[in-house]
A and B are shown apart, each in its own frame.
Chain A
Amino acid sequence: MKVSFFETGRYRAPRALPPEWPVPSGAYDREAGAQAYQGIIERLEYVEALGFDWVSVSEHHYSPRILTPAPIVTAAYIAARLRKITIALLGPIVPQSNPVRVAEELAMLDNLAQGRLVVGLLRGTTNESLTYDLNPQEARERTDEGMELILRAWTEPQPFGWQGRHFQYRTVSVWPRPFQQPHPPTYALGTSREACEFAARHRLGCGVSYGPFEVVGKATRYYREQCARHGWTPAPEQILYRANMLVAETDDDAQALLRKQPNQAPFAMRAGVRDAIMTLDSRNIAGEARAPVVSGALPTTFIGSPDTIVEQVRRCRNVVGAGVLDLSLHPPGSGDLDALMRSLDLFGKSVLPRIRDI
């Protein structure tokens, strides 16, 4: 099992913030922000020393919960400061991006990091369609087309034009090409039938997140079926599972930590927006409709003492098939850095060495 640390920036708000997304930018505290950004490298040096394989960053906007709206910037900063760890950019929100620009930036980053880059491409959380005025009903199609264009831009040796449905370019010829050939290890992120089929067709990895093992396992099973249909078998590390983990000395302590967490949606929108966008944002797990996550906290699927967690990881391997875990060891958005470091320390010393062979 490979292990990835999900780095979110860890903004420690000096005063309570409004719960709704978008969070007013006037509430930003520059001192707290500076500390959050400066803390990244110190924390990741420790993460690297503990033996984590990857550090991951992701794109979220208009909120202190995950302070990396331009994750490529964070990734480049990490690449420059850390020497060994692989940087997983999971990922650019494809439907609201210029795919050619994404291909260029990731190729640059792969060169700067000398091949220490892993890429996840995704559609984005429901709220993000508001960020750059993306029509939620077009998000799925724009994601599929954008991913296809990114792969083509990385691999096509001659200048080409792209006559798409949602994107049109007459001249594409990306420099630099990726350091890793033909391109960095890439995952289509999401549980949808479309993402799984895309990944299978292009021999990419599949990344799922947060849901209970049995639920996300439906998607990874579908992904593996589709891979078989296309005549190949994914390696274990081509199945990635992002999850929340609460590890403590005992199971009771871990449950007590969970009870202290607010049951709040990660990006809670005003009710009128939330209800309207729910009807437009169609999501599925391997083809079965599911509601977008717009209320309630994300589940914590690994919880307990180190012994308990090791068993849960074993179950995850069996049920989900995951060969890479991308972990939040303390809720993103919590400014409790001491608690985070205690979890990190405990996980690194008492869990990580025991799940390597799972």
Chain B
Amino acid sequence: MRDEGIPTVAQTAFREGFVEVDGFRIRYMEAGQGAPLVHLHGAGGPRVTPAHDLLARHFRVVAFEMPGFGQSPENTRTRSMPELASTMAQAVARLGLDTFNLLGTSFGGKTALWLALQAPSQVLALVLEAPAAIRQEGAESPSGSPEEIAKRLYAHPERLGTIPLPDPVLRAKSQPLVQRLRGPDRDADLERRLPSLVTPTLVLFGTLDRVISPAMGRVYKELMPGCQLVFVYDAGHAISTERPEAFAEVVEDFLERHDAFVISRTETVIHP
């Protein structure tokens, strides 16, 4: 199967909407009730996963299609990640969300960080799924055939029933934008600002991430005072696709309790 914009695993639960900001018509998918949770996708474009479904049981999930990705026209205008973050902040504002939780995946993790730096009072908490904002030296984006890309994105592609392969056409359209915005492996401008970001932040890495080294997790923890780092065992780069239950559980818990999520609520009574 190939992705056509925002498919499909949990499509029935999500409804489509559009906002017009900054000269872009931005599509989003929305489901669920509760505190808002805005999602900014990775460089492969938007995709609704089982994790979105699980999160929508507790949150009002708004998954944006950033301009230039998915079904949207090619974006030749946005010059930088802070600019994209600013556009996305306006899109969120247009939905009337004064404060919200923000989830950024990979490429979108960097967008989310910039958005939080630009509007710290609006972002209640930040979750970064395998963020690409700080990368090991010489990190390369997945490339090649859809199958080769899948091998980079997933620890165990063979375990996924249907592998969500990227669409080469959509990918080709968004690649120039990604290359323009991804920035250096270590972005001094961004990293200089991170110590001032006090937003509660959860950084997640799969232990088998073959795109961004999980060892990058510690850098966020060193730089950001409000950072928590969690490794998701046996997941690759696409954590929420490979281990959706584990992903959704820790994200929900963190968004609900922030730092206090370290206090266990697991009940161990076997027989009362």
Could you say which residues of chain A place their CB within 8 Å of the CB of B222? 158
Could you say which residues of chain A place their CB within 8 Å of the CB of B233? 145, 148-149, 162-165, 167
Could you say which residues of chain B place their CB within 8 Å of the CB of A159? 221, 229
* CB < 8 Å neighbour of A148 from B207, B228, B229, B261: B207
Could you say which residues of chain B place their CB within 8 Å of the CB of A164? 233-234, 246
Interface size on B, residues (CB 8 A): 23
Chain B interface, DSSP helix/strand/loop, else mixed:
mixed
* CB < 8 Å neighbour of B229 from A145, A161, A165, A167: A161
Q: Which residue in chain A gives the minimum CB-CB distance to B261? A: A170
Q: Which residue in chain B gives the minimum CB-CB distance to A156? A: B218
When A170-B230, A170-B261, A170-B262 are in contact, do A163 and B218 touch as well, CB less than 8 Å?
Answer: no
B164 located at the interface, meaning its Cβ lies under 8 Å from any Cβ of chain A in the complex: no
B268 located at the interface, meaning its Cβ lies under 8 Å from any Cβ of chain A in the complex: no
Contact pattern, B 200-229, Cβ under 8 Å of A = 1, otherwise 0: 000010010000000001100110000011
* CB < 8 Å neighbour of B217 from A145, A149, A160, A165: A160
Pairwise interchain contact A161-B221, C-beta atoms closer than 8 A: no
Could you say which residues of chain B place their CB within 8 Å of the CB of A160? 217-218, 221, 229-231
Once bound together, how far apart are the Cα atoms of A165 and B231, in whole Å? 12
How far, in Å, is A268 (CB) from chain B's closest CB? 30
Could you say which residues of chain B place their CB within 8 Å of the CB of A152? 207, 231
A25 located at the interface, meaning its Cβ lies under 8 Å from any Cβ of chain B in the complex: no
Pairwise interchain contact A145-B234, C-beta atoms closer than 8 A: yes
Could you say which residues of chain A place their CB within 8 Å of the CB of B204? 163
A157 located at the interface, meaning its Cβ lies under 8 Å from any Cβ of chain B in the complex: yes
Contact pattern, B 242-272, Cβ under 8 Å of A = 1, otherwise 0: 0100110110000000000111101000000
Once bound together, how far apart are the Cα atoms of A164 and B250, in whole Å? 11
Once bound together, how far apart are the Cα atoms of A337 and B104, in whole Å? 66
B48 located at the interface, meaning its Cβ lies under 8 Å from any Cβ of chain A in the complex: no
How far, in Å, is B71 (CB) from chain A's closest CB? 33
Contact pattern, A 164-204, Cβ under 8 Å of B = 1, otherwise 0: 11011011000000000000000000000000000000000
Once bound together, how far apart are the Cα atoms of A233 and B228, in whole Å? 37
Could you say which residues of chain A place their CB within 8 Å of the CB of B264? 170
Pairwise interchain contact B230-A161, C-beta atoms closer than 8 A: yes
Could you say which residues of chain A place their CB within 8 Å of the CB of B247? 163
How far, in Å, is B257 (CB) from chain A's closest CB? 10
Once bound together, how far apart are the Cα atoms of A152 and B230, in whole Å? 12
User: Which residues of B does A touch, CB under 8 Å?
Assistant: 204, 207, 217-218, 221-222, 228-234, 243, 246-247, 249-250, 261-264, 266
What are 16 A-B residue pairs whose CB atoms fall within 8 Å in the complex? Answer: A145-B234, A152-B207, A156-B218, A157-B218, A158-B217, A158-B222, A159-B221, A160-B229, A161-B228, A161-B231, A161-B250, A163-B243, A164-B246, A168-B266, A170-B262, A170-B263
Supplied contacts A161-B230, A161-B250, 9 more A-B pairs, CB within 8 Å:
A152-B207, A158-B218, A161-B229, A163-B233, A163-B247, A164-B234, A165-B234, A167-B233, A168-B266
User: Which residues of A does B touch, CB under 8 Å?
Assistant: 145, 148-149, 152, 156-165, 167-168, 170-171
